[in-house]
Structures are given as C-alpha cells and as structure tokens.
A and B are shown apart, each in its own frame.
Chain A
Amino acid sequence: MPSCEIKFDFNDSDESVTVRETRIILLLPVIRRAVELQYPDFATEENAVIEAPFRVPFKKDAGVFLFDTIARYAAPTDDNVHEITVEQSYPEAGPKTLDELKEIIELANFWECTTYMECIGFAIAKKLEDKTIEEIAAFMGVECNPPGNFFAEEDGWIHPPADAFQNVQ
C-alpha cells in the first residue's frame, strides 16, 4: 500500500497542510515530478516522506478544496456536457463564490492539473450564465467594448436616422 507524507505551505496560513494519499499526489504533475526526483518509484513507495514543505502562492482554502475533490471529479465529455449539472457532478463547487473558484482553477493550472481544470471551468461557466457581458469580462480581467451595431456600417449596412421612425410610428 503506497503512502506518503508531503507538506504544503500556503501563502495565507502559517499552518502546513499534510497530504498522505499517494493517489492525490499522482494527480498533481508538478508535485509528482518533484517528488520523483527523490523517490523514483513514488507510485509504489511506502511511507515516502518529503521533509521540506512545498510553498504554494495560493490560499489554503483553495488547496484543501482541491485535495478533497480532485480524485472524485470527472471532466465533462462531449457526450454528457449538455446533460450534467454542477449540483450533480460537482456538488462541493456549487456553494463556492466566483472569486474562490478562480483561486482554485489557478491553483490547478499552477500544478498542471488540466483534467481537473475542466471541472472547475465548467462550474465557473455555469455561475457566469446569469451575469452580464460586462461582469463576465471583469471576472476574466479583459477589456470590454460597448455593444455597437451587429450589422457594421463599415460592411455596407445602413442604419436609417432615428427620426424617420418617429414620423412613421
């Protein structure tokens, strides 16, 4: 039975988080590669202990959430993406705020957990469904132009002056 003892220091807490499940570490490619430098057969190693904690520039809550859920969450597939819901597939993500989910997905990105990022991306996308475009753009951190005309005048479409309608209607 493989086991390990690996510590993580998050930037908002003085208390380390210890992970003792090898299967979770195997799902974090960056950490797995670092550990395998010291334990080449880490996947089958018993009691693999890393003395120095990994420093993580993210919040502890995000890390704890990721450790709790990464082994259980399955990414949406082409076949089921129209049917699944956050409540059914990712219940712990439902109560999280967008800000918290952003922290989680960036932590997953930092550790190269690409499959897990799909799950959190899905949860974020569902939360964005009732937001305006301006709010979505702000969340993503990108600049948003005013709507403008769908039928662009530079493409040859002419919009009649507004007063013409007032005369008619």
Chain B
Amino acid sequence: MAYSLPLTYPSLKCVIKHMEVNSRIQLSQRCPSIRKAEKSIPLKIGHLELDQCRVKINNTDYSLAVVCNYFSSPYDLDEVGSMDLGEVIDEQRDVVVDNRSLEEGEKRILRMEYELRMLTDDWEKKNALIGEALKKELKMTTEKSELVNRKCYVGIIKSLFLSRRVGVPAPIWDIDFVNKNKLITFRDEKLSYNMKLHQAFKYLIFKLFSGRRDAIQVKKLSIENKGILRVPASLNLKVTHLEILGSGVDKIAISFQPLLEGSSLQSIKLNNDFNIENPILQTSPLLIFKNPNENLFRARSAFTNVRVELEKSTIFPREALDLIANWLRHGKEVGTIWNFSLTEVTALVCFKDIRKLPGAKYAGHKTSSQLGRSVLIPINAFSEIHIFDEKEEAQDGNDWSLKITVRRKL
C-alpha cells in the first residue's frame, strides 16, 4: 500500500500515543526521523514483567539466556558451567538485586540431568564438544567412549560440574536473545559470552526504555529474580499495581523503592515469605498476600486493607483465628478490612470455628448454611470485629470472600 502524504506532526503524535507499545518501540528503533517524537510521548504499559533475564511488555517477550549446545541457563555461569557466584563489581549507578543461591544452582543441575535423559539416541552428536572434553578428562580411547551409556554420562557431567575441576576445556557458551510474542519471532540473536548476563539485561532495559522525557506509566509491574537483576537507576517508572514473585521479596522491594518514588501505588502483591517491617508496605492502600507465612497473622502490624490469597486446598481456620486473637489482644484501627479469598466451603468451616470464640455473637441461620451470616466480637468499649462473607468474581476457583473488619460499635 502507498500513501500520498505523511501524517502531520500533531496527527502523528495522536497515533503514536495509542499504538501498541511493542510496535511503537520497534518503530522508534527503525525510524530515526520520528524517534524524538516517539520519545516525547508518555509510554503506557498495561503489564510489565521483569526478571533477571527477561522483559515482557504486555504479550511480547524479550528473553536472554546463557546457552551451550542443548543447555540454557537463566543466570550467569562460571567456566565449568555452574552458577557463577563471583563478586559483582558495582562501579556504575545501577539498581542491583542479588538473589543468587546455591540451592538454585543445584536445581539447575537437576534440570540438566532431566534434559539429558530426554535426549534422543543421537545424544553423542548433539554433545560433541562435551564428549571431547570427557574423553580427554577420562583418557578414554575411541572404542571405550562408545561404551559410555546415558546413565553414566549424566553422572559424569554432574561430577564435573559439582567438583569444578580445573583444566577441562569449557564448552562454548553464548548469550541468546529472543524477541517474540505468541505468533511471531521478531529476533533471535546470538552474542558472544564476553559480558555477563546481567549486563546484557541492563542493556536490554536501556534500549527499550531509555531517553524518555516522561515517566513510563505501568499499570501492573511484576518482578521476580533468581540471579542478578540489574536495572539502570535512571529507569523512571510510574506504577499503579506492584507484584513481587518468587523468593527474595525483601531484597527486590528495598532495591526497587527508589525507582518507584514517583509512583502512586494502588496495590502491592507479595507471595511467600517477606519482612512485614519492610517500609514499602506502607506506600500502598491495598496489600495482597499470596500464601503468606503464618507469622503475618500473629504479628502486630499497621496493615489496614489486606487481601489474603491462599491455595485452594488449604483449610485454614487457624490463620483467621490467629488474626482475630491478635486484634483482640492488641486492638486494631477502626476501618480495617482483611479480605480472605477462598471457597465457600472453606468460609463455612471458618465461620463454624469463629462463632465459637468467647464473646462472639452470631447472626444468620443457625446452621450457617445461608447468606447473610456474620459474627460480632467486641474488642473494647468502642470498637468490635465484624466478620461476614460474600460472593465475588471468580479467580482461580476461589470465588468467595471472608471479610474480617473492625468497626465502631453501633
């Protein structure tokens, strides 16, 4: 198709403003004449996902991996293929989150063993380089090497990696960069492994987001880190909903707080263990905890608007009972709402236990089997705990909501 006239500048800005984000970034990279215009228009991303080797913008992936023949790794490797635990030189102004752990390195060895077992009969051809290294290491003749079976091979690989033997020729590792969405692979680039993966990741962030006049507006930001997550300190984000996944929640939250200073967070979602004293938790009106440690319900905290999401199979009256006991002992601000997302059956079980608490007054059907049930438990002369349930929009099977609230006595 051919068009007679270019868009005028104001029209161009209106169109770019509403373009799909990934197309817009590509357009900016490939059309120098409109790059300045594109950079001057605020970028709005619906869902931005970051982990130590991947950026996902809405539905498009920008992934990095350290690769060798068949294997790949989402974090840096040392010269014998184990997780690189060396010191990170932090001479530049970057936000660096270091969540490396031996445990994760071990998991990768196990995944690699699994991948080896899945290889077809031509595994020797696919691993020629490693095979050559093994022959030298074991001083095997050509005839004997043919006798090495799959099981033995796996054991040898593991011992080599775990023992970190010196002198073994290292496999050739590269960094693989893939940019794709569900339908199209836009790029598949191989890079020499002469810079660390976390430096490549920082470069990726820089290329995607640098040079913008305004903060990038992100509706939902998800962060996870299993290695070293390195982000330019100049990354300017305005985030509405923040989600931190996996382990190392506290490190991520603390390190990213400077990047989020311009944000007006509406919610923060965390899972697994975290420190409830983390100051970032004071910056959002709504906190969402997924499978939190049970200490959350026993500790004194300033959290007043909380949503708790637990695995569907959990039967958890204890958490709710701990929370209520906590508030009865220490008091709680009027207006507090803790909202447990669960199934109706689980809510019913909770009600049966809650109504037995001393001082509890139950309202509703005597067998707790119908809607409109609630429990009142006085805290002191002025406030009381009000517990009730209601149906809510279905989210992964937990379509019921148990609300434990504090209100002024009527």
Contacts and interface: CB of A to CB of B under 8 A. Distances in A.
A122 B11 CA distance: 11
Contacts of A133: 23, 26-27, 30
What are the nearest 7 A-B pairs in CB distance? A141-B6, A121-B14, A125-B18, A158-B192, A122-B18, A125-B19, A117-B14
Contacts of A121: 11, 13-15, 17-18
Given A150-B207, A169-B69, A139 B3 contact: yes
A105 B11 contact: yes
Given A117-B11, A158-B192, A159-B191, A143 B18 contact: no
B2 interface: yes
A43 B129 CA distance: 82
Contacts of A117: 10-11, 14
B121 interface: no
Q: Which of B19, B128, B200, B204 has the most CB of A within 10 A?
A: B19
B187 interface: yes
A140 B191 contact: no
A133 B20 CA distance: 12
Contact of A160 (B5, B6, B187, B190): B190
A131 B46 CA distance: 20
Contacts of A151: 177, 189, 191, 200, 203
Contacts of B20: 125, 128-129
Contacts, number: 141
Contact of A118 (B14, B27, B190, B217): B14
Interface in B1-46: 1-3, 5-8, 10-20, 23, 26-27, 30-34, 44, 46
Interface stretch (A15-23, A26-34, A74-82): A74-82
B172 interface: yes
A contact face: mostly helix, strand, loop, or mixed: helix
A114 B2 contact: no
Interface string A105-136: 11011000010011011101110110101011
A156 interface: yes
Interface of B: 1-3, 5-8, 10-20, 23, 26-27, 30-34, 44, 46, 69, 126, 128-129, 172, 174, 177, 179, 186-187, 189-192, 194-195, 200, 203-204, 207, 217, 219
A42 B187 CA distance: 58
B207 A160 contact: no
A95 to B, nearest CB: 18
Contacts of A150: 177, 179, 187, 189, 204, 207
Interface string A74-93: 00101001100000000000
A138 B2 contact: yes
A149 B14 contact: no
A64 interface: no
Contact of B18 (A126, A137, A155, A164): A126
A124 to B, nearest CB: 5
A136 B27 contact: yes
A149 B174 CA distance: 16
Contacts of A137: 27, 30-31
Contacts of B174: 160
Given A150-B189, A151-B177, A158 B194 contact: yes
Nearest to A101: B15
A78 B17 CA distance: 11
A48 B26 CA distance: 50
Most buried by A among B6, B46, B179: B6
B8 A109 contact: yes
13 contacts: A105-B15, A117-B11, A121-B13, A121-B14, A125-B18, A133-B23, A133-B27, A137-B31, A142-B6, A149-B189, A150-B207, A157-B192, A168-B172
Contact of B192 (A76, A128, A141, A160): A160
Interface string A32-63: 00000000000000000000000000000000
A99 interface: yes
A121 B10 CA distance: 10
Contacts of A81: 18, 44
A145 B18 contact: no
B23 to A, nearest CB: 7
A169 B128 CA distance: 9
Interface in A92-106: 99, 102, 105-106
Contacts of A109: 8, 10-11
Of A76, A124, A138, most buried by chain B (CB within 10 Å of CB) is A124
A139 B8 CA distance: 12
Given A129-B20, A138-B3, A147-B186, 12 more contacts: A105-B11, A109-B11, A136-B23, A137-B30, A137-B31, A141-B6, A142-B6, A146-B30, A150-B179, A157-B191, A164-B172, A169-B126
